[in-house]
Structure 1
């Protein structure tokens, strides 16, 4: 996962695309997360995800961007846990249990990759060609 991403799809469109339910309108985190468009979603910010419920339904829910490992004492560690390599995620203690049991879909319109140019970093926006 990259450090910043964008999301311009409406919550209703996300729910329709993934055959998911929307949260109650009074959910405060959901209201903040679903205030779209979002052009710079950063670690620890609330954003919509699609997750499974205990009874197998899909729900569009507000979660904070990042991963808080089960062993972490402080939830702020989630702001730093945003990158996992597909080749090693199943073996790394920070990601292993989450990969097996706590997955979700993170809808996004695009993401930023940063490339170092001398002493500066240049962001590049990556998106589907038809968006």
Structure 2
């Protein structure tokens, strides 16, 4: 799974790398080194005019048919093996796919069996590019009582590449740049063909970091120090 990730700007670098127009207020964009689920995150999508744009979505999918938007906290990841058939994700996988920009993400390595040691956090980042383009599915939810519209997303995960198996048993699906056009195309609704994009990426590096990223709620730290390497 992917439970926390990092996104660094500036917006100009983000828009240039993804060749997309940023639609939100640029003044609210800031580097974040500890992005948790249920927060607003930039995603790359194709709008109704066929333009590639960067929008803000809630990280944690809210299916259009649900009555309770708090389900978002439980749907931040979608397993690539079943994303095409699970009721929460299958519509988004077929029609509403996106790219979720990330400078890197965190994963926690479990201690050896029987050990009382804490899980060791690792920072995982691209080996040869500025950003990961994590595969995402989206949905649109409307509060029937207020008319509030919430756009949301979930990160698709798969089995890890060989190098990452020592750290964790899952990793986000990364879409290579040459495949962005087909992945983002809302007219591309061939589910069997789309499933071919669900694969691990070898283009990653990683190193151990401190335990600060493990904080939640009011204890959540957001600092560049979080991605500094340490001795495990």
Q: How does the TM-score come out when normalised to structure 2?
A: 0.50
Equivalent residue number for residue 58 of structure 1: 52
Q: Deviations over 1:77-123 (max 9, x none)?
A: 11210122212110111110011111111000111111222453221
- Moved runs in structure 1, 4+ residues, more than 6 A? none
Q: 1:94 aligns with which of 88, 95, 99?
A: 88
- Cα-Cα RMSD: 1.9
Q: CA deviation at 1:24?
A: 5.2
Which residue does 2:64 correspond to in 1?
A: 70
Unaligned runs of 5+ in 2: 131-232
Report the secondary structure of 1:105's partner residue: strand
Per-residue deviation, 1:129: 3.0
Counterpart among 102, 123, 126 of residue 124 in structure 2:
126
Q: 1:24 to 1:106 in 2, by over 3 A?
A: closer
Matches within 5 A, 1:1-131: 2-23=2-23, 25=25, 31-32=27-28, 34-35=29-30, 37-117=31-111, 118-119=115-116, 120-130=118-128
Q: Which has the larger radius of gyration?
A: 2
SS in 1 for 2:93: helix
SS in 2 for 1:47: strand
Number of residue equivalences: 125
CA distance in 2, matches of 1:44, 1:60: 18
Which residues of structure 1 form unaligned runs of 5+?
Answer: none
